[in-house]
Amino acid sequence: MENKKQLTYLESVHRDGKIWGIIICFLILLFPLAVSFIFGAVPQWKPLAQGLFATLPMYWAVGLVEIFTYVPMLGAGGTYLSFVTGNISNLKLPCAVDAMERAGVKATSEEGEIISTISIAVSSIVTTIIIIIGVILIVPLTPILESPVLEPAFDLILPALFGGLAVVFISKNAKLSIAPIMLMLILFIFVPALNKGTVGIMVPVGVLFTVAVARIMYKKGKL
Amino acid sequence: MEFNVNSPILFIMVGILIAIVLAQSIYFLVKAVKRAKEIGISSETVKKTISSSAVFTIAPAIAVLVGVVALSKSLGVALPWLRLSVIGSITYETVAANNALTAAGLGAGSTITDASMYVTVLWVMTLGIAIGLILVPFVTKKIQGGMNKIGMKDKKWGEIFNNAMFLGMISAFLGYVFCDVSTVFSGDLSGLTPVCVMLVSAVIMAVCGLLATKLKIRWLTDYALPLSLVGGMAAAIPLAEILGYEVIK
């Protein structure tokens, strides 16, 4: 008889997440090799080096910090899925945060882990399906998706998303929200380099700052 | 094989990769739903989580699709389809693709006709953001273990910590909404457009919250976020017109 150690749910999520993650990572890195092989083409080394030099340092640095920032918020299952399917801050995380809030569960509890996983899995599946439909119908859809009338709506999706989300969280944590919001307003208004493209870098800054403020207020009995 | 950015073989490979990624989501969905039943999360809560997450996702997913269309002009459809279904976000993929294209002396909008150029762009886009993909399988357990300890040691602090993280993220995005307001000082109102869009979305959310509690309309809380999102996006159309907002490409 096999005497297998009973894994907790969370442990089994980590085990499965690791296996899926390694397989998918391998396949994604294999794809460019396969394309090279099939078409008998080698990358152009100079543009490759220049392109990587312009892209890699910044996105690897941001990506590294993002892992530490997002894992506690997304939970284990949510992390394994989100870092494969992407669009974390503009889609997966708000989706999971809203789902956990409505279900009344905390990200660090097992209930939170489950609700977050369900929400992110559903969101990934729906996104994938919508893109598949879009790719099939790309010819008739292109003029609609690119129409100048709809352009501002898609361009301003982040303000439209975070306005609603902010109401939910600020109304519940009014005292704690003052300092981080003030800091971010000052930074974004007065530092010209901060804009849509660099907001991703400011997320970890905001998170660390708010946690630090919360700790001080908590220690002083103000929360 | 003759190269073409829309070669069927590219679609087949991308299709297989996306099917595997889809399978991962389905696997974890089934696993989580099973566990929800075991620990007594009501099936109502599970159903609501599924339906409201699905509804919420529609508008952002269409925005992602806009990114696929935009990138497809130079890269064909297969590559943007893969990149934006897997890992990428619109902002990253556009930057990475343009970095590679400019490095090769091509304009951002020109179509790739040469296989070696295509492979070059493909490698830049793949490696440029691969860190999460490579590290997450190995570090997630450690990071999460540390976090759970915080929650266990001091329950109240665990809860505050949790809220502080979300607030920190939200405050960064609120800051971004105001990044162009200084244009007002030079008489240009366009920088206020994101702020007004955010306010519309916030008002819709607040009204939904009030109606849901005062009139006891339960479903409203479940769809308040998608409603405020789509409402804000819809408001962006006339607001951009009135305030003279221009989309930068």
C-alpha to C-alpha distance for A201 and A206, rounded to whole angstroms: 9
Do both B130 and B183 map to the same domain?
A: no
Do both B43 and B123 map to the same domain?
A: yes
Mutate to test the interface with B, among A10, A13, A23, A35 (most CBs of B within 10 A): A35
Last residue of a domain, one of B134, B156, B171: B134
Q: Chain A partners of B1 at a C-beta cutoff of 8 Å?
A: 38-40
Quick check: A111 pLDDT over 60?
yes
Q: Is residue B35 part of a domain?
A: yes
Q: How confident is the model at residue B109 (pLDDT cuts 50, 70, 90)?
A: low
Q: What percent of chain A has pLDDT over 70?
A: 98
Do both B117 and B52 map to the same domain?
A: yes
Do both B130 and B186 map to the same domain?
A: no
Do both B202 and B124 map to the same domain?
A: no
Do both B122 and B188 map to the same domain?
A: no
Q: Return all residues near A64 (Cβ < 8 A) that are at least 6 apart.
A: B131, B135
Q: Is residue B104 part of a domain?
A: yes
Do both B19 and B93 map to the same domain?
A: yes
Q: Report the SS3 class of residue A167.
A: helix
A152-170 b/e (C-beta count within 10 Å ≥ 16 → b) = bbbbbbbbbbbbbbbbbbb
Do both B125 and B189 map to the same domain?
A: no
- Pair B203, B171: CB distance under 8 Å: no
Mutate to test the interface with A, among B2, B39, B53, B122 (most CBs of A within 10 A): B53
Q: Is residue B59 part of a domain?
A: yes
- Pair B115, B7: CB distance under 8 Å: no
pLDDT of residue B13: 96
Q: Is residue B68 part of a domain?
A: yes
Q: Is residue B170 part of a domain?
A: no
Q: Chain A partners of B231 at a C-beta cutoff of 8 Å?
A: 160
Of B66, B103, B247, nearest to A145 by CB-CB distance is B66
Closest chain B C-alpha to A1 CA, distance in angstroms: 26
Note down the domain range covering B185: 179-243
Q: Is residue B231 part of a domain?
A: yes
Do both B127 and B214 map to the same domain?
A: no
pLDDT tens per residue, range B13-62: 999 999 999 999 999 999 999 999 999 999 999 999 999 999 999 999 99
C-alpha to C-alpha distance for A159 and A50, rounded to whole angstroms: 34
Q: Region B124-138: what's the mean pLDDT?
A: 92
Q: Is residue B183 part of a domain?
A: yes
Of A24, A111, A167, nearest to B41 by CB-CB distance is A111
Q: How is residue A191 written in tokens?
A: 């530092």
Q: Region A73-77: what's the mean pLDDT?
A: 94
Q: How confident is the model at residue A28 (pLDDT cuts 50, 70, 90)?
A: very high
Domain spans of chain A, in order of start: 174-223
Q: How confident is the model at residue A23 (pLDDT cuts 50, 70, 90)?
A: very high
Do both B25 and B96 map to the same domain?
A: yes
Q: Region B240-244: what's the mean pLDDT?
A: 94
Q: Is residue B156 part of a domain?
A: no
Q: How many domains does chain B have?
A: 2
